[in-house]
Amino acid sequence: MAYTPATEELIRALQGLPGIGSRSAARMALHLLERDTESAQWLNNALAEALNKVHRCPSCRTLTEQVECDICQDSERDASSLCVVVNDADRAAIEMSKQFQGHYFVLHGVLSPIEGVGPEQLAIFDLIDKLKNNDVSEVIFVLDDQMESEATVFYITEQLKAIDVRCSRVTLMHLKNGNLDQAESRHLVSALTNRQEITLEQE
Amino acid sequence: MAYTPATEELIRALQGLPGIGSRSAARMALHLLERDTESAQWLNNALAEALNKVHRCPSCRTLTEQVECDICQDSERDASSLCVVVNDADRAAIEMSKQFQGHYFVLHGVLSPIEGVGPEQLAIFDLIDKLKNNDVSEVIFVLDDQMESEATVFYITEQLKAIDVRCSRVTLMHLKNGNLDQAESRHLVSALTNRQEITLEQE
Ligand SMILES: [Zn+2]
Ligand SMILES: [Zn+2]
């Protein structure tokens, strides 16, 4: 073993971060323990705090530290319009664009049978219940154009045939990681304005 | 603010990791809080444990969890030969090559006036004391060929003029991050075998 047991364990744990292989993890662990224990302590505190405080809003699954998220609590927002997104970063990106005044529903993933992600994991049945029991007249799906995203939109709209709700689809390539640059932001504005309606054939 | 305060704090703290900018940090934070709280909990525990247990060996500055490191405790090793390295990853890489049976001294950096790294930060005076008071007959500097590394070797050898000790220098380009591949390992073996003596002009 090249390093101490606790260092080796830290290297393994760092590989749980997206995009971090064993070499980067070793470099990070050594940097934290050898050169910058102050940053390490800060990261440790911030991570514990976030794990303790941040949870999903029971109503829309946005990450929040309150009982219910800011958006769900805001009576000024338009509860008749619901935007369905894949993750909290996309939700944040749309919020930053200031082009949408309705509510959200965050799936936290897309359907993926191979990875064991089914409708339950994405709380799709909660979404359907929400649409049945509330006065939502319009659902806008803002997802990228990957096959699994398309399948997810298709699955949900199939469930919505029995409900009187208008569905539309916005396809965004660059809506990843939450930080929209100016070009992406313009693209988002134009996409939200020119969204395409999905026609549901009533059964 | 796009995310909750605790999430934003976690994103800032993650930027303390080497090579992680604000976008990667945001992706990591969201991944941990949204999709993989199990990995987040693991990382939190591993980091706390490592910060608590891992410290520098008082004698050679190798990272250890014991009072004194394994190498310093091992009476089979040759205490007359001392290898000076920049960081614990390089020390680990040389250990893995099994080509060196002496002791180490880990600088944890190179001299860098701009970054406020002077001889005190690298414990160079401890190193000199160690060489004065112990039966070390040979010091091998294994550092890369960057200007700051050369300046560090020069600074230390200048201090060693008054001491009866042989100095040699091994220059390694690829001795970074601890994980030597086969080619690097062969290069290390050949470099340690063909090390160049540094002639100290006695004052
Ligand atoms: Zn909410
Ligand atoms: Zn030691």
**Assigned domain for B111 exists:** yes
What does the pLDDT read at residue A162? 84
**Assigned domain for B9 exists:** yes
Is B90 or B54 the better-scoring residue by pLDDT? B54
Same domain membership, residue B110 and residue B155 = yes
Question: In angstroms, rounded to a whole number, what is the distance separating the alpha carbons of residues A168 and A197?
Answer: 4
Of A14, A37, A53, at which residue does a domain stop? A53
Is B1 or B153 the better-scoring residue by pLDDT? B153
Percent of chain B residues past pLDDT 70, beyond the cut: 90
Of A157-161, B32-36, B41-45, which one has max mean pLDDT? B41-45
Q: Which residues pair with B52 in a beta bridge?
A: none
| Residue B70: both structure tokens together | 């394994």
Residue B13: count of CB within 10 angstroms of its CB: 22
Same domain membership, residue B68 and residue B29 = no
- How do B78-85 and A102-106 pair as beta strands? unpaired
- φ/ψ of residue B87, rounded to 5: -150, 175
What does the pLDDT read at residue B163? 87
Ligand 2 center to residue B62 CA distance, Å? 5
Same domain membership, residue A102 and residue A10 = no
Closest C-alpha to A28, from B18, B91, B178, B54: B18
Given a contact cutoff of 8 angstroms between Cβ atoms, the answer to whether A61 and B57 are in contact is no
pLDDT at B127 over 70: yes
**Assigned domain for B203 exists:** no
What does the pLDDT read at residue A2? 81
Strand, helix or coil for residue A120: coil
pLDDT band at B181 (very low <50, low <70, confident <90, very high): low
* Average pLDDT rounded to a whole number, residues A166-193: 68
Q: Please report, for the domain that includes residue A183, its CATH number.
A: 3.40.1360.10
pLDDT at A177 over 70: no
Question: In angstroms, rounded to a whole number, what is the distance separating the alpha carbons of residues B175 and B182?
Answer: 12
**Assigned domain for A187 exists:** yes
Question: In angstroms, rounded to a whole number, what is the distance separating the alpha carbons of residues A169 and A180?
Answer: 19
Average model confidence (pLDDT) across chain B:
88
Closest partner residue to A18 (CB to CB) among B27, B51, B179 is B27
* Average pLDDT rounded to a whole number, residues B9-36: 93
Same domain membership, residue B96 and residue B48 = no
Same domain membership, residue A75 and residue A31 = no
What does the pLDDT read at residue B83? 95
Same domain membership, residue A44 and residue A27 = yes
CA atoms within 13 A on the CB side of A37: 14
* Average pLDDT rounded to a whole number, residues B163-174: 82
**Assigned domain for A133 exists:** yes
Range of weakest confidence among A22-26, A71-75, A191-195, B130-134 = A191-195
Of B53, B71, B90, at which residue does a domain stop? B53
Number of domains in chain A: 2
pLDDT band at B1 (very low <50, low <70, confident <90, very high): low
**Assigned domain for A24 exists:** yes
**CB within 8 Å of chain A, chain B residues 83-112:** 87-89, 92-93, 95-96, 108-109
Question: Is B18 an 8 Å CB contact of chain A?
Answer: yes
Question: Is A67 an 8 Å CB contact of chain B?
Answer: no
Ligand 1 center to residue B201 CA distance, Å? 74
Closest partner residue to B89 (CB to CB) among A30, A45, A177 is A30
**Assigned domain for A203 exists:** no
CB contact under 8 A, B63 and A33: yes
Ligand 2 center to residue B181 CA distance, Å? 25
In order of A1, B34, B86, B94, B152, the CA distances from B110 in angstroms are 26, 40, 7, 18, 6
* Average pLDDT rounded to a whole number, residues B4-11: 96
Q: Please report, for the domain that includes residue A39, its CATH number.
A: 1.10.8.420
Same domain membership, residue A49 and residue A116 = no
ipTM above 0.90, yes or no: no
pLDDT at B108 over 60: yes
pLDDT band at B58 (very low <50, low <70, confident <90, very high): very high
pLDDT band at B176 (very low <50, low <70, confident <90, very high): low
What does the pLDDT read at residue A164? 85
CA atoms within 13 A on the CB side of A174: 12
Question: Is B161 an 8 Å CB contact of chain A?
Answer: no
What does the pLDDT read at residue A73? 95
Question: In angstroms, rounded to a whole number, what is the distance separating the alpha carbons of residues A122 and B97?
Answer: 49
Same domain membership, residue B82 and residue B19 = no
In this structure, what DSSP letter does residue A16 have? Answer: T
**Euclidean distance between the first and final Cα of chain B, in Å?**
64
pLDDT at B196 over 60: yes
* Average pLDDT rounded to a whole number, residues A183-191: 69
In this structure, what DSSP letter does residue B202 have? Answer: P
Same domain membership, residue B62 and residue B38 = no
Same domain membership, residue A33 and residue A98 = no
Interface probe, candidates B43, B60, B68, chain A, greatest A C-beta count within 10 A: B43
Show contacts of A178-186: CB within 8 Å, 24+ apart: A178/A88, A178/A89, A178/A90, A178/A92, A178/A93, A178/B2, A178/B3, A178/B26, A178/B30, A179/A93, A179/B22, A179/B23, A179/B26, A180/A93, A180/A96, A180/A97, A184/A93, A185/A96, A185/A97
Range of weakest confidence among A54-58, A115-119, B50-54, B166-170 = B166-170
Strand, helix or coil for residue A176: coil
What does the pLDDT read at residue B105? 96
Same domain membership, residue B85 and residue B11 = no
Interface probe, candidates B1, B8, B10, chain A, greatest A C-beta count within 10 A: B10
CB contact under 8 A, B23 and A177: yes
Q: How does pLDDT run across A29-39, given as a tens digit for each residue?
A: 999 999 889 99
Question: Is A190 an 8 Å CB contact of chain B?
Answer: no
* Average pLDDT rounded to a whole number, residues B139-158: 92
Q: How does pLDDT run across A113-165, given as a tens digit for each residue?
A: 998 999 999 999 999 999 988 889 999 999 888 899 999 999 999 998 888 89
Q: Which domain holds residue A177?
A: 56-198
Given a contact cutoff of 8 angstroms between Cβ atoms, the answer to whether B131 and B160 are in contact is yes
Question: In angstroms, rounded to a whole number, what is the distance separating the alpha carbons of residues A176 and A118?
Answer: 22
Same domain membership, residue A126 and residue A40 = no
**Assigned domain for A127 exists:** yes
